[in-house]
Amino acid sequence: MVDMAIHPIEFRYGSAEMKSIFEEESRLQRFLDVEAALARAHAAVGNIPKRDADTITKKASVKFVKVERVKEIEKETKHDIMSVIKSLSEVCGRAGKYVHLGATSYDIVDTANALQFKEALAIVEKDLRDLEKALLRLAKKHIKTIAIGRTHGQHATPVTYGLRFSIWAMEIKRHIERVSEVKKRVLVGKMSGAVGTQASFGKKGIRIQKLVMKDLGLAPAEVSSQIVQRDRYAELVSILALIAATLDKIGKEIRNLSRTEIAEVSEKFEEKRQVGSSTMPHKRNPINAENICGLSRVIKSNVFVALENVSLEHERDLTNSSSERVIIPESFILLDEILKRTKNLLKNLALYPENIARNLEMTGGIEMAEAVMMGLTEKGMGRQDAHELLRKLSIKAVKSKKPLKDVLLKSTTIRKYLSESEIDKLMDPKNYIGTAVEQVKNVLARR
C-alpha cells in the first residue's frame, strides 16, 4: 500500500529545514541525545561505569536505533518512550541495563522538546530579522510616498507609505525581542522523576539534572512535577501566534490595498503562467497575502489548546501529550511558511504612484479638512468653532459634489481668516504629513 499524505504540512506548507526538526527520525534522535546525556551524567557522579556511558553515547543514534524498530516494540508496549528505551538497550549490550536510569518518560520528552524549540526558534529568529530588514528597506524607499490614510475604512488624512512600513518593522522588532526573551523560560529541561522529587536519582538528583542540561545546552528547571510546567509552552505558542497575528495584519492590509477600486499595491504576478481563476481569465488575486491570513488563523487557534494544557491534574495527566504532538509542530511549521511568504511578498511588492495619487485626490480635498481647521485655530478661531465650521462645509462639499476648496472660498467666515494662497498651502497633502518623515528616519537610525 502506498503511503498517502493527509495533513497539508506533509506536502504543501513549511520549509524542509523547519519540517526536518519535527520529523520522526529527528525527534527520535533528540530522545536518544537526552538518554546519552543522562548516561554521561550518571558516569560523572559515579553511578555507572564510564565505559558503559560511552557505549550508550555511541549507540544513541538513529544509525543504530531505528524508527521501524521503535514502532515495532510500541505495538506491544503501547508506550512510545519505553519503546525507545528498549530499542536503545538492545543495541547497547551489557550497558543497556543503565539506559534511562532513574528517569521518567517526560524527563526525556520535555528535555527533547526544548532541544527542538532551540532549533526551531533559531529559524524563526532569522526569518524575523530578514523580514525586519525588508520592511526597513521599503520604509526608506518610500519615506516620502504620500497616500491617503484610512480609519474605519474611510478616507482620513494623508499618511506616508514609509510610516506604514516602519510601523510594521517595529512590530517585527518587538517579536524578535519576545523570542529572545522567551528562550530563558522555554529552553529548559529536567530530570525530576515520577512526581518531581528526584527520589529515583537519590541525593545526586540536582547534580545529575544540572550536568544533563549543561551537556545539552539547556537550563535546568528550578522545580517541576512529572513535567515541565506548561505555562512555558503556552507562552511560547502565544508568541508564535502573536507573530502570526502581525503577519495577518500585513497580509490583510496588502489585500485591501490591492482591491481593484484601490489598486495602490499588488503582489508579483507571473504573467507567463500564473492563473488567477479557473473560470475568470483576467483575475490577479493576492493569493500569498490570503494564504498568510488563512494560516495565521490556525496558529492563533492553537493558543487555546496550549492554555488548556497548563491546568493538568495533580502532578500531571496525559491530556497535554496528544494535543502537543499536533499544536507544537503545526505552529512552528505554519509560522515558518507564512514568515517566508511574507518576506517574498514584500520583496516583490509593487506600488502604483498614479493610483496612490488618484486615491489621495478622490474626495476633492475633504481629507484636508483637519488641516484647514488647524490653520484656522492658528489664526485665532476657537478649536471647537473651527471644527463645527469645517464639519458643515465638508458636508456641503459632499452634497454639492464640489471640491472643498471651492466651498471654502465662498465662506465669508473662512475668508476672514484665510487667503486663497493660505488655503492652497493648507490643502496641499505634502504639507500635512507632520513628523512622518522624521519618525521614519529615527526608526532607520536605530539600525
Express each pLDDT in 363-415 by its tens digit.
999 999 999 999 999 999 999 999 999 999 999 999 999 999 999 999 999 99
Look at 143-157, 213-227, 246-260, 270-284 and tell me which has the smallest mean pLDDT: 270-284
Residue-level pLDDT at 278: 43
- Residue 270 pLDDT grade (very low, low, confident, very high; cuts 50, 70, 90): low
User: Which residues neighbour 384 within 8 Å (Cβ) at sequence distance 6 or greater?
Assistant: none
The model's confidence at residue 447, banded by pLDDT at 50, 70 and 90, is confident
Which is nearest to 120 in space by CA: 32, 19, 34?
Answer: 19
| Mean pLDDT, rounded, of the chain | 94
DSSP string for residues in 227-248: S--THHHHHHHHHHHHHHHHHH
Active-site residue numbers?
152, 277
Domain boundary among 312, 327, 358: 358
Pair 240, 308 in one domain: yes
Q: Verify that 285 and 137 share a domain, yes or no.
A: yes
In a domain, 435, yes or no: no
Smallest CA-to-CA distance from 116 within 342, 341, 343, 324 is with 324
Q: Are 398 and 366 in contact (CB under 8 A)?
A: yes
pLDDT at 343 over 90: yes
- For the record, the C-alpha cell of 126 comes out as 532569522
Out of 272-276, 330-334, 361-365, 438-442, pick the least confident. 272-276
CATH number at residue 380: 1.10.40.30
Residue 274 pLDDT greater than 80, yes or no: no
In this structure, how many other beta carbons lie within 10 angstroms of the beta carbon of residue 152?
6
Does residue 440 lie within any of the structural domains? Answer: no
Question: 129-182, pLDDT tens digit by residue?
Answer: 999 999 999 999 999 999 999 999 999 999 999 999 999 999 999 999 999 999
Burial class (CB in 10 A: 0-12, 13-18, 19+), 78: exposed
CATH code where residue 54 lies = 1.10.275.10
- Which tops the pLDDT comparison, 283 or 418? 418
Predicted structure pTM score: 0.93
- Write out the residue range of the structural domain in which residue 62 sits: 15-98
Segment 123-129 shows an average pLDDT of: 98
Residue 275 above 70 pLDDT? Answer: no
Q: What is the pLDDT of residue 277?
A: 47
State how many domains the chain has.
3
Alpha-helical segments (H) within 142-230: 161-186, 205-216
Q: Of all residues in the chain, what percent carry a pLDDT higher than 70?
A: 96
pLDDT at 9 over 90: no
| Residue at which a domain ends, from 81, 98, 115 | 98
Q: Out of 62, 80, 98, pick the residue that ends a domain.
A: 98
Domain match, 194 and 304 both: yes
Each residue of 58-103: pLDDT tens digit? 999 999 999 999 999 999 999 999 999 999 999 999 999 999 999 9
Q: Are residues 314 and 421 in the same domain?
A: no
Residue 395 inside a domain? The answer is: yes
| Residue 116 domain flag | yes
Q: Are strands 219-220 and 350-351 parallel, antiparallel or unpaired?
A: unpaired
Q: What are phi and psi of 352, to 5 degrees?
A: -120, 95
Give the model's pLDDT for residue 398: 95
Residue 129 maps to which CATH number? 1.20.200.10
pLDDT confidence band for 6 (50 / 70 / 90): confident
> What are the tens digits of pLDDT across the range 352-366?
999 999 999 999 999
Does the pLDDT value for residue 279 go beyond 50? Answer: no
168 plus 205 within the same structural domain: yes
The pLDDT value recorded for residue 272 is: 54
Asked if the model's pLDDT at residue 283 lies above 50, the reply is no
pLDDT at 219: 98
Domain-located, residue 88? yes
